Structure 1
Amino acid sequence: MQKWTLKEIVAHAKAHSPYYRELYKNVQSDKLSDLPITDQGEFWKSRVVTEEQPDGIVFKSGGSTGAPKYSYFTHQEWIAYTESFGWGMSEGILDHGDRVGNLFYVGDLYASFLFIKDSLQFIPSSKKRITQYPIAGQTDHVQILKIIEEFNINTIVGVPSAILTMLEKYSENKSKFPNLKVEKLLFGGEALYDDQHLALKKIFPEIQISSIGCASVDGGMIGYSSRDCANNEHRVYDEASIIEIVDPDTNEVITEKNRVGKVLLTNLTRKLMPIIRYPAGDMAMWLEDANTPNRKFKLQGRSEEAARLGTLSVYFEDTRDMVMKTLKESSGIQFQMILNHYDHKDELVFKVAGNGIDKSTAQARLVDAFSKEKPGYMDILKKNLIHPLKIEIVEQRELDANARTGKLKRIIDQRLK
């Protein structure tokens, strides 16, 4: 696997990336904790790449129609990424002979289907010999079920909410698929919550359920799921990345166990678009002692850079700009996003406070603006994978603030409570 040392990554970024050259202009040390934390908003507004792309692949990483975000990989970097993720999958619940149906989504520069397809190919055959079936999540549910039964597919991989919707279709029509039996589910793209877990177990009581791994197309590999990982638990893959957990208020590096902080990712396999101390968008805590190889951590919801609504990334800065433009006749606008989960689906709530907001029109205007800014929202809403966006116009005192610092909370993830 192609990789570099931290010192090489930092030196290359500082010499060739306009963004990192400016960020590090007053930095003398190359010690990781001495480097500034990447600001996601500035990162995506700036020129980050270190050269014109010589080869490889490009994916859309999220954002809105007005501010698209693209992630660039050279050919060798993409191989390194999928090879490391494939190794991580080989440490999980897959076994020799598993027949894997890929139900992730494909198209419009979306990464997940191709990423998992390529990663499955890189599972070392000396560890696990599997066969994969590239079905794709947008395939008609009845057709998916026919393929699973026809090829005796025992393992499915995909997005939890979409898979549950498809399996509920099966549950209603079991007699039509008498030989269908799913033994394993590896999920990704969104968290799996307790109500979804129970619903899946109701359909297939003996099914084994595991994360497929933790990664993002913007940052890279965050962690893999080994057989000893419970739900929301992963291990760092030391060969491919450096994971830090830092205090969300002070940016102090957290080394002790069971203290929740913000996840930072430094990727050791990417030079074209360097990822150094990049906020992954997750909160987590360490479960093992420092210096443990491939140290285990547990995810604890989302941090304040972006909300994850089903499979959709909703970046706070982009969304705040949209709210301000939509309510431009009002003043003193304050805004925060709340994430809830019920009836097997996520819900996003905008809490908005300000002077002179016309409550009779603001809610509809904000929903309309968000729908236009994030076309992917309407796609997953029509598929019944999320609840509709909810708008609450409130008083300033009704917004939630950090009790210790008094700062307004930007994203409040209530799904794991």
Structure 2
Amino acid sequence: MAESLYRVLRDMRRARKGGPEAVRTRRVARLREIVAHARARSPYYRELYRDLPPEVDDVRLLPVTRKPELMAHFDEWVTDEQATLARARAFVDDPGLAGQLFLGRYRLGTSSGSTGVRGIFLFDDSSNTVTSAMALRAFGRWLGWTDVAKVVAGGGRVAAVLATGGHFGSSTVLPRTAGGRRLGKDRIRVFSVFSPMPELVAQLNDFRPNILIGYAGQIALLAGEQEAGRLRLAPTLVMLGAEGLSDSGYARVSSIFNAKIGNGYGACEFMSVAASCAHGWLHVNHDWVIAEPVDRDYRPVPPGETSHTVLITNLANRVQPVLRYDLGDSLLMSPGPCPCGDPFPAIRAQGRASDALTFHDERGRAVAVAPVALAGVVDRAPGLELAQVVQTSPTSLQVRVRAAHNADPEQVWRNIHAEIVQFLANHHLDGIDLTRSEEPPQQSAGGKYKLIIPYAPDPIDARAVEN
């Protein structure tokens, strides 16, 4: 791992020194290789690409792929015949296996199901190495030598506040080694996003991280705790991902923690699509991933216009090729060069802002909960295909449930009910009314499923939130 990581990092430096043409040459070569590999090893792609030229060096020649079709043909999609959907589902339904290797050789993560289907994704050695290299490149963009020296002098402790207890992509692919050595608890530690806030604050105060990593919604709540004086951290860098904040939200987090802010954009399909610069743009890792902003008919959207969706091509993952894949996110490509000088394409992800849910406890006090925490609790329930939680008032929740194929819907609901009840109890919200909706999960106007829909008192506002 250490040797292959070094080779990737060295190649990345050479590509950047060589300029746009050097990056383009590598991207085209990697596209040819991954398409040829998919044709040779994946029955699904072999059939899908049967009318294409023998060699493909333009991604636009490839047909669009979508999660529902790929998951329906999982056994033909993957390039390892032992990695069947039945085995993967059995692995996913056992939370005790979280963090272990699937089939002894692949990391495994699940997507949230926001496009209507819960995805299961395998990460081979190649994709894990590239993900680690992308992370190091991002840290190099965010931290200068003075910052690095400060982090090292402070102990080099990294706190990652992530979803735990399930096969979540963010925690599944978290690097566990550095320079060939396993990272100890004294250097990097994962904290559960599901922990009650007072407990989480106490744990972080005890650990005193120099770098704080977490979902943007949860970090925004932690900033509130820092502002109130209950959290007492002095991180050099705060890295946010999974959700977006407004410009003022990022500025608030930076000011409260007196730290630099790093923002990452990715998904299980490719964990490190882009990383932020000081000017608020996200720069696509263009040497290892191709991102195409397109309209609803999959035609290219020009820079400066918001896309309907984005097509992602992962140039690293060989066990489960993700090629011209409809990710479902809306992107805006910068109409001109970024002021930071980075030559990689600059984008902004649209529609990922996430506000905290505010509940009232039995004494009428407000309790804020990050949506990602509640979504993660629901998502780890065995047998679930998709669930949508609607906050119908400050003291009530309603859940729309879709069970997976061959799963017992009543048992799935009992699993979800138990998870949410325990989660609410941990946050001292025992009086919240929790019911199951007769409706299935509802799509928004943009075609996605918003997994957590906060309460909006006005019916018009409620529709706007859901859309």
> How does 1:9-408 map onto structure 2 within 5 Å?
9-28=34-53, 30=56, 31-46=58-73, 47=75, 48-51=77-80, 52=82, 56-62=105-111, 69-93=119-143, 95-96=147-148, 97-98=150-151, 99=156, 100-118=158-176, 121=178, 132-137=187-192, 144-146=200-202, 148-150=204-206, 152-166=208-222, 168-169=224-225, 174=230, 180-182=233-235, 184-193=237-246, 200=253, 204=256, 206-211=258-263, 213-228=264-279, 230=280, 233-248=281-296, 250-289=297-336, 293-301=343-351, 310=372, 312=375, 372=415
Q: Residue 112 of structure 1: SS of its match in structure 2?
A: helix
In the TM superposition, what is the alpha-carbon distance from 1:168 to its structure 2 partner? 4.5
Structure 2 CA distance for partners of 1:262 and 1:155, relative to 1, 3 Å: same
In the TM superposition, what is the alpha-carbon distance from 1:6 to its structure 2 partner? 0.5
In the TM superposition, what is the alpha-carbon distance from 1:274 to its structure 2 partner? 0.5
Partners of 1:300 and 1:246 in 2: CA distance? 13
In the TM superposition, what is the alpha-carbon distance from 1:180 to its structure 2 partner? 4.0
Partners of 1:372 and 1:55 in 2: CA distance? 28
Q: 8 Å contact 1:40–1:279 — kept in the other structure?
A: yes
Partners of 1:205 and 1:17 in 2: CA distance? 48
Structure 2 CA distance for partners of 1:416 and 1:235, relative to 1, 3 Å: farther
Structure 2 CA distance for partners of 1:321 and 1:189, relative to 1, 3 Å: closer
Q: Residue 111 of structure 2: SS of its match in structure 1?
A: strand
Partners of 2:51 and 2:421 in 1: CA distance? 44
Q: Residue 351 of structure 2: SS of its match in structure 1?
A: strand
Aligned to 2:30: 5
Q: Residue 348 of structure 2: SS of its match in structure 1?
A: strand
Equivalences, count:
351
TM-score (norm 1): 0.65
From the two aligned structures, give the one with the greater helix fraction.
2
In the TM superposition, what is the alpha-carbon distance from 1:37 to its structure 2 partner? 0.7
In the TM superposition, what is the alpha-carbon distance from 1:49 to its structure 2 partner? 1.1
> Which one-letter code corresponds to 1:56 in the other structure?
R
In the TM superposition, what is the alpha-carbon distance from 1:149 to its structure 2 partner? 4.2
Structure 2 CA distance for partners of 1:140 and 1:49, relative to 1, 3 Å: same
In the TM superposition, what is the alpha-carbon distance from 1:73 to its structure 2 partner? 2.2
Partners of 2:390 and 2:335 in 1: CA distance? 29
> Which one-letter code corresponds to 1:82 in the other structure?
S
In the TM superposition, what is the alpha-carbon distance from 1:241 to its structure 2 partner? 0.7
In the TM superposition, what is the alpha-carbon distance from 1:159 to its structure 2 partner? 2.0
In the TM superposition, what is the alpha-carbon distance from 1:254 to its structure 2 partner? 2.1
Partners of 1:400 and 1:109 in 2: CA distance? 26
Partners of 2:410 and 2:251 in 1: CA distance? 32
> Which one-letter code corresponds to 1:262 in the other structure?
T
Q: 8 Å contact 1:81–1:221 — kept in the other structure?
A: yes
In the TM superposition, what is the alpha-carbon distance from 1:41 to its structure 2 partner? 0.2
TM-score (norm 2): 0.59
> Which one-letter code corresponds to 2:290 in the other structure?
I
In the TM superposition, what is the alpha-carbon distance from 1:247 to its structure 2 partner? 0.7
> Which one-letter code corresponds to 1:110 in the other structure?
F
> Which one-letter code corresponds to 1:209 in the other structure?
I
Aligned to 2:364: none
Percentage identity across paired residues of the two chains: 18
Q: 8 Å contact 1:57–1:73 — kept in the other structure?
A: yes
Aligned to 1:333: none
Gaps of 5+ in 1: 123-130, 303-307, 324-336, 351-365, 403-408
Partners of 1:273 and 1:49 in 2: CA distance? 5
RMSD: 4.9
Q: Residue 71 of structure 1: SS of its match in structure 2?
A: strand
Gaps of 5+ in 2: 1-6, 9-25, 84-102, 180-185, 353-369, 401-408, 454-463
CA shift digits 1:45-73 (9 cap, x unpaired) = 21211124686332231368xx8643222
> Which one-letter code corresponds to 1:277 in the other structure?
R
CA shift digits 1:30-52 (9 cap, x unpaired) = 23112111021011121211124
Structure 2 CA distance for partners of 1:181 and 1:220, relative to 1, 3 Å: closer
In the TM superposition, what is the alpha-carbon distance from 1:210 to its structure 2 partner? 3.4
> Which one-letter code corresponds to 1:280 in the other structure?
L
In the TM superposition, what is the alpha-carbon distance from 1:162 to its structure 2 partner? 3.1
In the TM superposition, what is the alpha-carbon distance from 1:101 to its structure 2 partner? 2.0
